[in-house]
Amino acid sequence: MTFIADRMDLIQPSPSIMAMARAKELIAAGVDVCNMAAGEPDFPTPPHIVEAAHAALLRGETRYTAVDGTAALKRAICAKFERENGLPYTPEQISVGAGAKQVLFNVLSCTVNAGDEVIIPAPYWVSYPDIVRLNGGVPIVIATTADVGFRITPAQLEAAITPRTKWLVLNSPNNPSGAIYSAQELVAIGAVVGRHSALHVLTDDIYEHLIYDGARYTSFAQANPSLFERTVTVNGVSKAFAMTGWRIGYAGAPKALVKAMEKLQSQTSGNPAAVSQAAALAALSGPMDFFEAWRQEFEARRNLIVSRLDGRFDLKCPAPQGAFYVYVSCAAQIGKITPAGQTIRDDSDFVLYLLDAYQVATVQGAAYGVSPAFRISFATSIPTIELACGRILAACEALQ
Domain of residue 83, CATH code? 3.40.640.10
Distance CA 141, CA 118 (A): 8
SS3 395: helix
Residue 381 confidence (pLDDT) above 80: yes
pLDDT of amino acid 194: 98
CA pair distance 120, 157, nearest whole angstrom: 10
Q: Say if 51 falls within a structural domain.
A: no
> What is the pLDDT confidence band of residue 310, given thresholds at 50, 70 and 90?
very high
Its domain, for residue 122, covers 62-285
**Average pLDDT estimate for 290-295:** 98
Question: Per DSSP, what are the bridge partners of residue 121?
Answer: 142
Domain identity same for 99 and 190: yes
- CATH number, domain with residue 299: 3.90.1150.10
Claim to verify: residue 268 and residue 347 sit in the same structural domain: no
Give a yes or no: residue 295 inside a domain: yes
10 and 136 within one domain: no
Handedness of CA 182, 102, 67, 5 (dihedral sign): positive
Do residue 371 and residue 227 come from a single domain? no
The answer to whether position 49 is within a domain reads no
The secondary structure of 64-104 as a DSSP string is: ---TT--HHHHHHHHHHIIIII-----GGGEEEESSHHHHH
Residue 326's H or E segment, with its range, is strand 325-329
How many domains are there within the chain? 2
- pLDDT of 20 strictly over 80: no
pLDDT in tens, 196-251: 999 999 999 999 999 999 999 999 999 999 999 999 999 999 999 999 999 999 99
Residue 377: predicted pLDDT: 97
Q: Which residues of 318-341 are buried (b: 16+ CB within 10 A; e: fewer)?
A: bebbbbbbbbbbbeebeebebeee
Angle formed at CA 173 by CA 170 and CA 178, multiple of 5 degrees: 120
Q: From 239, 264, 285, give the residue that closes a domain.
A: 285
pLDDT tens per residue across span 112-144: 999 999 999 999 999 999 999 999 999 999 999
Asked whether residue 1 is domain-assigned, the answer is no
The 8-class DSSP code of residue 322 comes to: B
pTM to 2 decimals?
A: 0.95
In the predicted structure, residue 13 carries a pLDDT above the cut 90: no
pLDDT digits (tens, 9 = 90+) for 337-348: 999 999 999 999
Report how far residue 235's alpha carbon sits from residue 370's, in angstroms, rounded to the nearest whole number: 24
Q: Are residues 252 and 298 in the same domain?
A: no
Co-location of 228 and 296 in the same domain: no
